[in-house]
């Protein structure tokens, strides 16, 4: 029997877009996305589809088409679990902030709560799919909870990690490089795998649907993110060397990326990677390696994070040293706060850490980001607990207009590579700034020669 009813626990950046695309591509499957967060669900159900809580190009159109037909958003978690044949767990798995493994291990409390809730509620057999990114062997723990606290129904656990990147989530979901499904090697496990393969086969070519054992699938997700982040830290390490030697990191990246063994992607030097995944997943990998006594393996991957912290920190230090070793009382404008373009997500954004460093130097920061709210910016800074919320409030202002944000600034720092920054009237911005007018381009987004022609003292990354 094919799957006709799916529930997804967690209506976040993964659960929302992933389920919207499944509903869109599988009109015969009823998809219900549930979450404890009432405000989030209310926004997914907002009659004005532009108000959905996740900004992703193309997402509101897909939600508008499927919502109310075979795509539903609800806070009624128990009912949705009971009704579904297949349950995706897509809740957050942040880095632990307490106890053993604090600052490294993944906090699995939300996962465990889901497993216990499924076990309590389920009255028919279920396939439970790990969509969240999890440490290798988590499926074993989930299975133990389900089998020991359930109502005697049969559970199959699958691992189906999500590889979408924010900002291109819809594109990535519609045409994934591959879909990975891990499951049990026994007959029941293979039947469960087949049912999930059938769901994806509605739009993904079968040769791109890869099936493995559970542990390979769980570990592949952490490994993929570690490899991607490692490329960014590698090119960022070279960017610092470029700045000392007269080499240009864009030229180096192009030259090495044309080697088909290396490839051109993920070689863009930047102010440092951000996002909810890279740091968390590498820390988790490091923790797992350490817990198996593999110190060299742990140290190897930890260096990717150390390099990234260094890159963010040295960007802030460069601003201070260039501005005659003091930014106290000086207005510095941030263009961009999101961790990359085309998303409203700010988790672990480099902007937060650069701002924190500059606020320690008593800078006055003005921020313009096309998709991030003032409230979010304040909450990101307050979360660091470096200073009192009132102090953050005084030292940072959020602007609705980029030209207003840049007025009377000593320097502009580009933190996110939003396309619109390229088409600004940079002469107008220059005219309204204090002189000398500095631009620190943390994304190598702007044309260096044109900026210098206008009169800016322009510095990119790695040149
Ligand atoms: P998120 O924080 O945006 O969403 C998680 C949602 O789960 C929240 O809305 C939260 O309220 C809800 N939730 C938590 N516990 C719950 C419970 N017991 N019952 C109901 N709802 C509950 O997180 P996200 O970015 O969507 O990430 C989810 C998972 O996917 C993580 O494991 C992450 O590592 C992984 N992942 C994320 C991305 C990404 O780009 N964001 C990509 C691939 C994988
Ligand atoms: C990442 C993975 O790409 C995705 O497969 C996984 O499912 C979730 O984690 P995401 O964090 O959404 O996706 O965005 P990604 O495009 O990977 O960018 C991560 C960070 O690296 C961003 O801050 C980005 O600006 C930065 N980056 C990326 C660079 O600085 N240079 C690059 O060349 C690429």
pLDDT digits (tens, 9 = 90+) for 65-79: 999 999 999 999 999
pLDDT in tens, 324-378: 999 999 999 999 999 999 999 999 999 999 999 999 999 999 999 999 999 999 9
For range 241-254, the mean pLDDT: 98
What's the pLDDT score for residue 141? 94
The dihedral of CA 412, 413, 415, 416: what is its sign? positive
Taking Cα atoms as reference points, which of 65, 69, 118 lies closest to residue 91?
118
Q: Are 368 and 327 in contact (CB under 8 A)?
A: no
Which residue of the set 7, 242, 277, 406 is catalytic?
277
Token pair listed for 95: 């880095």
Confirm or reject: Cβ of 275 under 6 Å from ligand 2.
yes
Q: Kindly give the pairing relationship between strand 209-213 and strand 5-9.
A: unpaired
Ligand 1 atom, smallest distance to 277 CA: 34
Q: Which ligand is nearest to the CA of 417?
A: 2
For residues 196-222, one letter each, b for 16 or more C-beta atoms within 10 angstroms of the residue's C-beta and e for the rest, the string is: bbebbeeebeeeebebbebeebbbbbb
What is the interface pTM, i.e. ipTM, of the complex?
0.98
Residues 5-204: name the CATH superfamily.
NAD(P)-binding Rossmann-like Domain (3.40.50.720)
| CB neighbours of residue 447 within 10 Å | 12
Closest ligand 2 atom, CA of 345?
A: 12
pLDDT tens-digit readout, 181-190: 999 999 999 9
Find the 361 Cα to ligand 2 centroid distance in Å.
29
Q: Considering every ligand atom shown, identify the ligand nearest to the alpha carbon of residue 12 and give its number.
A: 1
* Backbone angles phi and psi of 95, in degrees to 5: -70, 140
44 lines ligand 1 (CB under 6 A): no
Class of residue 39 by CB neighbours under 10 A (exposed 0-12, middle 13-18, buried 19+):
exposed
pLDDT at 149 over 90: no
Whether the CB of 92 sits within 6 Å of ligand 1: yes
End-to-end Cα spacing for the chain: 60
Is the distance from the beta carbon of residue 91 to the nearest atom of ligand 1 less than 6 Å? yes
Closest of 339, 371, 370, 368 to residue 352, by C-alpha: 339
158: left (phi over 0), alpha (psi -120 to 50) or beta: beta
Angle between helix axes 295-322 and 214-245 (nearest 10 degrees) is 40
Taking only the tens place, the pLDDT of each residue in 41-52 is 999 999 999 999
Q: In whole numbers, what is the pLDDT of the chain averaged over residues? A: 97
DSSP state of 399: -
Q: Are strands 179-183 and 209-213 parallel, antiparallel or unpaired?
A: parallel
Q: Distance (Å, rounded) from C-alpha 279 to C-alpha 290?
A: 16
Residues 6+ apart with CB under 8 A from 22: 6, 29, 31, 199
Q: How far is CA 174 from the centre of its chain?
A: 18
Judge whether residue 416 has pLDDT over 90: yes
Say whether 32 counts as a known binding-site residue.
no
- The CATH number of 306-459 is which of 3.40.50.620, 3.40.50.300, 1.10.260.40, 3.40.50.720? 3.40.50.720
Q: Separation of 443 CA from ligand 2 center, angstroms?
A: 13
The three-state secondary structure class of 434 is coil
d(CA 37, CA 421): 34
Would you call 179 exposed, middle or buried from its count of C-beta atoms within 10 A (0-12, 13-18, 19+)? buried
pLDDT of 153 over the 90 cut: yes
Q: Say if residue 435 carries a ligand binding annotation.
A: no
Residue 346 near residue 380, CB atoms below 8 Å = yes
Cα angle: 348, vertex 353, 357; to 5 degrees: 170
Kindly report, as residue ranges, where domains of CATH 3.40.50.720 are found in the chain: 5-204, 306-459
Q: Which pLDDT tens digit goes with each residue over 16-37?
A: 999 999 999 999 999 999 999 9
Q: What does the alpha-carbon distance between residue 208 and residue 202 come to, in Å, rounded to a whole number?
A: 12
For β-strands 396-398 and 209-213, DSSP reports them as unpaired
**Beta strands per DSSP E along 175-245:** 179-183, 209-213
Structure confidence at residue 395 as a pLDDT band (50, 70, 90): very high
Q: Is 242 a catalytic residue?
A: no
Strand order in the sheet with 411-414: 396-398, 364-368, 331-335, 411-414, 438-441, 457-459
Specify whether the CB–CB gap between 244 and 214 falls below 8 A. Answer: no
> Which ranges of 122-162 does DSSP label H, i.e. alpha helix?
138-149
Confidence band of 223 (pLDDT split at 50, 70, 90):
very high
Pick the residue whose CA is nearest to atom 13 on ligand 2: 165
3-state secondary structure of 459: strand
- Nearest CA to 145 out of 133, 157, 135 is that of 157
At residue 31, the pLDDT reads 98
What is the share, in percent, of the chain residues with pLDDT greater than 70?
100
Residue 188 alpha carbon to ligand 1 centre in Å: 28
């Amino acid at each position: 029997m094919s799957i006709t009813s799916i529930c997804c626990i967690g209506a976040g950046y993964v659960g929302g877009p992933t389920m919207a695309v499944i509903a869109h591509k599988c009109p015969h499957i009823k998809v219900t996305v549930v979450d404890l967060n009432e405000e989030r669900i209310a926004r997914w159900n907002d009659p004005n589809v532009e108000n959905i809580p996740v900004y992703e190009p193309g997402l509101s159109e897909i939600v508008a088409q499927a919502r109310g037909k075979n795509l539903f958003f609800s806070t009624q978690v128990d009912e949705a679990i009971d009704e579904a044949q297949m349950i995706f767990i897509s809740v957050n798995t942040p880095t632990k902030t307490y106890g053993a493994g604090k600052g490294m291990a993944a906090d699995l409390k939300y996962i465990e709560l889901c497993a216990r809730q499924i076990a309590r509620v389920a009255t028919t057999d279920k396939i439970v799919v790990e969509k969240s990114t999890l440490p290798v062997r988590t499926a074993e723990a989930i299975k133990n909870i389900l089998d020991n606290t359930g109502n005697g129904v049969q559970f199959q656990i699958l691992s189906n990690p999500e590889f979408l990147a924010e900002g291109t989530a819809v594109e990535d979901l519609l045409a994934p490089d591959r879909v990975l499904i891990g499951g049990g090697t026994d007959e029941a496990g293979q039947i469960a795998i087949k049912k999930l393969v059938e769901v994806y086969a509605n739009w993904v070519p079968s040769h791109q649907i890869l099936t493995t054992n559970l542990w390979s699938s769980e570990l592949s997700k952490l490994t993929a993110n570690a490899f991607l982040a490692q490329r960014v830290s590698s090119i960022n390490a070279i960017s610092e060397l470029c700045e000392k030697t007269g080499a240009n990191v864009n030229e180096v990246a192009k030259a090495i990326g044309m080697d088909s063994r290396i490839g051109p992607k993920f070689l863009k030097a930047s102010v440092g990677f951000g996002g909810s995944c890279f740091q968390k997943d590498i820390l988790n990998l490091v923790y797992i390696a350490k817990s198996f006594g593999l110190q060299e393996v742990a140290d190897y991957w930890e260096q990717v994070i150390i390099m990234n912290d260094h890159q963010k920190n040295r960007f802030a230090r460069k601003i201070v040293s260039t501005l005659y070793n003091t930014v106290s009382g000086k207005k510095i404008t941030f263009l961009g706060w999101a961790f990359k373009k085309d998303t409203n997500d700010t988790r672990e954004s480099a902007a937060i850490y650069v701002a924190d460093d500059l606020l320690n130097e008593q800078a006055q920061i003005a921020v313009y980001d096309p998709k991030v709210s003032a409230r979010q910016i304040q909450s990101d800074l307050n979360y660091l607990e470096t200073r009192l919320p009132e102090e953050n409030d005084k030292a940072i202002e959020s602007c609705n207009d980029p030209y207003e944000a840049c007025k009377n600034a000593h320097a502009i720092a580009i933190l996110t590579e939003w396309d619109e920054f390229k088409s600004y009237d940079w002469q107008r911005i220059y005219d309204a700034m204090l002189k000398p007018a500095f631009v620190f381009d943390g994304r190598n987004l702007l044309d260096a020669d044109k900026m210098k022609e206008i009169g800016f003292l322009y510095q990119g990354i790695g040149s």
